Amino acid sequence: AQSVSQHNHHVILSEAASLELGCNYSYGGTVNLFWYVQYPGQHLQLLLKYFSGDPLVKGIKGFEAEFIKSKFSFNLRKPSVQWSDTAEYFCAVNAQGGKLIFGQGTELSVKP
């Protein structure tokens, strides 16, 4: 069965620190990959997506992610976090058209 694993449940950083959130998935075929963010009190929003092509994708608010097929990974990065990046981040995979399979989420707390 397909699954998505996010390595960190809770990450605490100071402003201006660099961020990397890990995401690994299990599926041998072609996948579409996503990172969603859920700010406090708000609904899930798409940060970035990978369908095909350049494995380094850029999203909103300075976030980027790299798809490494050989490692089944799609890690999220940001060079310098801000207090406003405090949120929960979800990695998701779509492999069979239709359903998204989500990881358990990583809560990011950024200290001002």
Work out how close the CB of 55 gets to another protein at its nearest, in angstroms, rounded to a whole number.
17
3-class DSSP assignment, residue 97:
coil
Indicate the residue among 85 and 103 with the shorter CB distance to another protein: 103
The 10 Å CB-count burial string (b at 16+, else e) for 18-33 is ebebebbbebeeebeb
Question: Looking at 23, 63, 78, 105, which residue binds another protein (CB under 8 A)?
Answer: 105
Indicate the residue among 55 and 79 with the shorter CB distance to another protein: 55
Is residue 109 near another protein by the rule CB under 8 A? no
Work out how close the CB of 100 gets to another protein at its nearest, in angstroms, rounded to a whole number.
6
Retrieve residue 107's tokens. 């809560």
The strand pairing partners of 109, in sequence order, are: 12
Is residue 90 near another protein by the rule CB under 8 A? yes
- Kindly report the three-state secondary structure assignment for every residue of 64-86: EEEEEHHHCEEEEEECCCCHHHC
Interface contacts to another protein, rule CB under 8 A: 4, 32, 34, 36, 42-46, 49, 51, 90, 92, 94, 96-105
